[in-house]
Amino acid sequence: MLSRLVLVSGSALKGSGPLGAGLVHASRSLHTSSQSLAPVPPLPEKGGKVRHGLFPEELFQLLYPKTGVTGPYMLGTGLLVYLLSKEIYVINHETIAAISIGSVIVYAVKKFGPSVAAFADKLNDDKVAKAQEVKDLAMTNLVQAIEDEKKEQWRTEGRSMLFDAKRNNVAMLLETNYRERLHTVTNEVKRRLDYQIALQNLHRQMEQEHMIRWVEKSVVGSITPQQEKESIAKCITDLKALAKATQAKAAV
Amino acid sequence: MAGRRVALKAIDWVAFAERVPPNQRGMFNALKTRTDGIAAKLNSLPETPAVIDWSYYKTAVAKAGMVDEFEKKFKALQIPMPADTQTSAINTQEAEANKSATAYMEASKARIAQYEKELEKFKNMIPFDQMTIEDLNDTFPETKLDKVKHPYWPHKPIADL
């Protein structure tokens, strides 16, 4: 790791000035000191590229111009042969152990590596998603709250209508009362006059009736018994004549 | 007779109803029914009273000066408009309401400013996957772990995990 970081930050630090001494650590250390206020760059998605799980790609790229594609392999083979032949690295029991353990580890990582990585990523993603949800909810709530406040302000602007309605009510009540007074006066005057007329009519009616009764009484009283007999006899002869006339008519 | 008073102001009940908040709807409905009742009563009374036919009465009534006297007094009569006691009370109510409404608007504007500030903070926040723990503690101060009160990991009561 250190080798790759040397290779990477060697090219990156050519551009940046003041922090020449912090070459050993990762580029993140640029931001833990208080001098730098630049925003933190996002974490890289994947680790640095490696070949065969061990050797950084930058080594191959470094050697490519001079030695082509097979250069690093030749370097590796040569180094290995040198170590073995000069017995700088001695083959003993530990070598077998190392080979066995190494192969098991490599097999395990190759088989289970991706699923473990996915699981860990999912844990992290869940945390981030929860935080994001909280943030989204907070933002929608705030927007809604702003909307509601604006609506309430709009509502208060209509308050004058209430008082207009109240004043209208008062005016209508007064007007009603006034009209009622007018009508009462007129009706009372009419009633008085009508009463006078009714009184007069009643008077006249009573006088008429009284007079009629008086005239009738005096007429009836003035009929003498003699006149009464004569009128009855005349009635009877009239009736007989009438009867004869109707009998004659009935016979025909 | 004296003429009628100032004309009534036209009220748009539909717009008024829109502005009523839901918790005051009962009061609004009561007001509307009352107003409608009063308006109906007003409209049921004709504006001018019935005309009295003085010539008919002059011929009909026997008493000589009675109708003339009635007529004279009737024509001279002025009916006063009823006194208006409530409008000043309503006006003071309106002034008070205006005052409290302006106070409410001020408070509401302050609240809106606060909400908008928080909204800005949320909008300008760096995305979560680019934050460090220090950034998180800066943006949401409630996530800061109190290392003085709880010096050992996890720096918060176990029940809060």
Which comes out higher in pLDDT, residue A111 or A17? A111
From CA B93, how far away is CA B89, in angstroms rounded?
6
CA-closest candidate to residue A173, choices B93, B89, B35? B35
What pLDDT sits at residue A62? 92
The pTM of this model reads 0.58
- To the nearest whole percent, how much of chain B has pLDDT over 70? 95
Which of A33, A40, A133, A166 to mutate against chain B (most B CBs within 10 Å)?
A166
pLDDT of residue B57: 81
Q: What is the pLDDT of residue B134?
A: 87
User: Which residue would you say has higher pLDDT here, A59 or B50?
Assistant: A59
CB-defined contacts A:B, below 8 A: 170
Are the Cβ atoms of A200 and B62 closer than 8 angstroms? yes
Answer yes or no: is pLDDT of B129 > 70. yes
CA distance B159 to chain A (A): 19
User: Mean of the per-residue pLDDT values for chain A?
Assistant: 84
Give the number of other Cβ atoms within 10 Å of residue A130's Cβ: 11
Residue A226 pLDDT > 80? no
**Whole-number pLDDT of residue A15:** 41
For residue B138, pLDDT beyond 50: yes
Cβ contact (<8 Å) for A175 and B39? no
Work out the pLDDT band at B87, boundaries 50, 70, 90.
confident
Residues of A in contact with B135 (CB under 8 A): 40
Lowest model confidence (mean pLDDT) among A67-71, A145-149, B66-70:
B66-70
Within 8 A of A43 by CB-CB distance, chain B residues are: 129-130
Q: For the residues B21-31, what does the mean pLDDT come to? A: 88
Closest residue in chain B to residue A199, using alpha carbons only: B61
Highest-scoring range by mean pLDDT, A208-212, B46-50, B98-102: A208-212
**Do residues A40 and B132 touch, judged by C-beta distance below 8 A?**
yes
Residue-wise DSSP of A118-160:
HHHHHHHHHHHHHHHHHHHHHHHHHHHHHHHHHHHHHHHTTHH
What average pLDDT does the segment B41-70 reach?
81
Nearest to B111 among A149, A178, A192 (CB): A149
ipTM given for this complex: 0.74
Cβ atoms of B70 and B52 within 8 Å: the answer is: no
Average pLDDT on B120-138 reads 85
Q: Which of B70, B87, B101 sits opposite A159 (nearest CB)?
A: B101
Using an 8 Å CB-CB cutoff, list chain B residues near A200. Answer: 60-62
CB contact under 8 A, A185 and B19: no
Per-residue confidence band for A243, with pLDDT thresholds at 50, 70 and 90: very high
**Inter-chain contact A193–B67, Cβ cutoff 8 Å?**
yes
Residues of B in contact with A159 (CB under 8 A): 94, 97-98, 101
Residue B83, φ and ψ in degrees, nearest 5: -70, 145
User: Which residues of B fall within a CB distance of 8 Å from A172?
Assistant: 8, 35, 38-39, 42
Identify each DSSP E strand in A11-154 by its residue range: 50-51, 55-56
Q: Do B61 and A196 touch (CB under 8 A)?
A: yes
For residue A4, what pLDDT band results from cuts at 50, 70 and 90? low
| Average pLDDT estimate for A85-108 | 95
Residue B112's nearest CA partner among B100, B101, B123, B120 is: B120
Does the pLDDT of residue A25 top 60, yes or no? no
pLDDT band at A34 (very low <50, low <70, confident <90, very high): low
Residue A125 to chain B, least CA–CA distance (Å):
9
The pLDDT score that the predictor gives to residue A31 is 55
Residue A117: pLDDT band (50, 70, 90) is very high
Give the residue among B17, B80, B112 at the shortest CA–CA distance from A153.
B112
Q: pLDDT tens, A132-169?
A: 999 999 999 999 999 999 988 888 888 888 888 888 88
User: pLDDT at residue A221 above 90?
Assistant: no
CB contact under 8 A, A170 and B8: no
Residues of A in contact with B124 (CB under 8 A): none
Q: Enumerate the residues of chain B whose CB falls inside 8 A of the CB of residue A183.
A: 45, 49-50
Q: For residue B57, with 0-12 CB atoms within 10 Å meaning exposed, 13-18 middle and 19 or more buried, which class applies?
A: buried
Q: Say what the alpha-carbon torsion angle B113, B118, B121, B123 is, to the nearest 10 degrees.
A: -90
- Could you tell me the residue ranges of all domains in chain B? 127-160
Residue contact B11–A168, C-beta within 8 A: yes
